[in-house]
Chain A
Amino acid sequence: MRTDAPRALRYAAPLAVAAVVLGLWEAAVRLNDVPTWLVPAPSRIVATLFEDRALLLDSLAVTLGIALAALALAVVLGVTAALLFVQSRWLEVSLFPYAVLLQVTPIVAIAPLIIIWVKDTRVALVMCATVVAIFPIISNTTLGLRSVDPGLAALFRMNRASRWQVLARLRIPSALPYFFGGLRIASGLALIGAVVAEFVAGTGGAGAGLAYQILLAGIQLNVPRLFAALVLIAAAGVALFGASVLAARLALGRWHESELAPPD
């Protein structure tokens, strides 16, 4: 993409693509008389979103709540782990392989166990999503805490800085850009983890999330509602991503290259 594209075009172009695709979709469904239970028209999906809003928004709140709780937990636990890792090589060498193990094992394979062991389903779902989201936080933050300018490290040493001063004044600020890179990935993963875990758990009733609505709508061939739930999951993902980008901009905006405006 050319960097000198006008700002307006950057929003207008993707919106135009959406308008064309949705228009074609709508026309194709109407002209060919495709049944709603096979492919609903975009207008039908929007109508369903509106009609089923009470049900769908409740489910959105459940899924988003699980994803946010998991993200918060992943940040707290992941940053703690990274801080411990940089204080002790031994700890890192002993524990990091297990963080990797956790990362490479598919969550669908672990979820049934967690759901069996943990009585409260909501807690089990948060745990599953945390397992998925935590790795980029641990690995990025650890890398960032170690990526200290060697000259600055020497300067701190020359001035007899304490371990705590090095951590607070040098390591943590140096790690911030890396941490926010990890957060950006983790925000998407937390939502994926929440949805996958819900699928496995199949929790219905009052605590039903969007994944359950998709599962149920699929069985009932209520395809418009399935699409509506899908739209909401995508919107939630975009919102989480946007929030993490915003957080990074607020924290780093003034000094870090990654958040500086590209030269126009």
Chain B
Amino acid sequence: MTPPVVHARGVAKRFRDGTEALAPVDLAVHEGEFVAVVGPSGCGKTTLLNLLAGLARPTAGTLLWWGAPRPDADRSRRFGYVFQSPTLMPWADIATNVLLPLDLSGAPRAEAERAVAEALALVALDGFAGHLPRELSGGMQMRASIARALVTRPALLLMDEPFAALDDFTRQRLDDELLAVWRARRFAVVFVTHNVAEAVYLSTRVLVMGPRPGRFVDEVAVDAPWPRGDDFRTTTAFAALARRVTRAVAAAAAGDAH
């Protein structure tokens, strides 16, 4: 059996100032899974994602990526990261921004340029390769950011509230575009959000986090059929799942208040 894409066992994080950001948690993300992580702000969602990205080291427990103790042990299996803000280089055009991960790893030029064109097409930015980030709308900048994460054909995509700053219409459209790409390429996703409806709509599994210290308080499997569209949002199944997740989040937040 293939090992999980990323496997956390008893992983905890304590900051240098003594704050318990993350209690020991267990999490296994498997190939092709779309895992949404929801929770109130400040519950350690970003800390968890940083640990999964290898950007921070856990203070306890073990993390394995494809069975290896380093996220980059196997260069053919890469991961992409999408931040809360587009995080593009303002001085470089969109194509150069999307090229960055390949450029830094020294990929052959022709091959890299093909991959950039493909990634831009995937997020419907074909015509904007030569534009500067500031010439694009917020939603288009976020698309460029996603193209940059996808350009290496990652096996794991980590997303930290990527659409939180966008308006509802743009967010829903980007949700659908993301799902289309995911269904075509079948990478594993860990998608952090504080939007319950978005979590249920996108994922195969919703993990609910509670704060101080960050921990998983509930897990909800979303086994709704694919493809999902606007109709899914109005089904009773969707409403029931969303209600359950909302209650779990509320309970976690209330537990924190006492």
Interface residues of A (CB under 8 A from B): 149, 151-152, 154-161, 165, 169-170, 173, 176, 252, 254-256
Contact = CB atoms under 8 A, between A and B. Distances in A.
A254 B132 CA distance: 8
Given A160-B72, A160-B104, 20 more contacts: A151-B83, A151-B87, A152-B89, A155-B81, A155-B87, A155-B100, A155-B101, A156-B104, A158-B53, A158-B54, A159-B100, A159-B101, A159-B105, A161-B104, A169-B100, A169-B103, A170-B89, A254-B132, A255-B91, A255-B134
Contact of B104 (A149, A165, A252, A256): A165
Contacts of B53: 158
A254 B72 CA distance: 36
B100 A255 contact: no
Q: Max chain B CB contacts within 10 Å: which of A155, A165, A170?
A: A155
B102 to A, nearest CB: 9
B13 to A, nearest CB: 16
Nearest to A252: B91
Contacts of A155: 81, 83, 87, 100-101
B110 interface: no
B55 A158 contact: yes
The range of chain B's interface size is 20 to 34
Q: Max chain B CB contacts within 10 Å: which of A149, A158, A160, A252?
A: A158
Interface in B29-77: 53-55, 72
A149 B54 contact: no
Nearest to A165: B104
Given A152-B87, A173-B91, A256-B90, A157 B132 contact: no
Contacts of B72: 160
B172 interface: no
Q: Max chain B CB contacts within 10 Å: which of A157, A160, A165, A255?
A: A255
Contact of A255 (B79, B104, B132): B132
A14 to B, nearest CB: 32
B195 interface: no
Nearest to A160: B72
Contacts of A149: 87
Interface of B: 53-55, 72, 79, 81, 83, 85, 87, 89-92, 100-101, 103-105, 132, 134
A149 to B, nearest CB: 6
A160 B100 CA distance: 12
Contacts of B92: 173
Contacts of B105: 159-160
A48 B249 CA distance: 83
27 contacts: A149-B87, A151-B83, A152-B87, A152-B89, A154-B55, A154-B83, A155-B81, A155-B87, A155-B101, A156-B104, A157-B55, A158-B54, A158-B55, A158-B79, A159-B100, A159-B101, A159-B105, A160-B72, A160-B104, A169-B100, A169-B104, A173-B89, A252-B91, A254-B132, A255-B132, A256-B90, A256-B91
A149 B132 CA distance: 17
A152 B83 CA distance: 9
A220 B199 CA distance: 85
Contacts of B90: 255-256
Contacts of A252: 91
Contacts of A255: 90-91, 132, 134
A222 B8 CA distance: 85
Contacts of B85: 151
B240 to A, nearest CB: 37
Given A254-B132, A255-B134, A159 B89 contact: no
A158 B89 CA distance: 16
Nearest to A161: B104
A252 B90 CA distance: 10
Nearest to B55: A154
A256 B132 CA distance: 10
A169 B92 CA distance: 10
Q: Max chain B CB contacts within 10 Å: which of A156, A157, A169, A256?
A: A169
B219 to A, nearest CB: 27
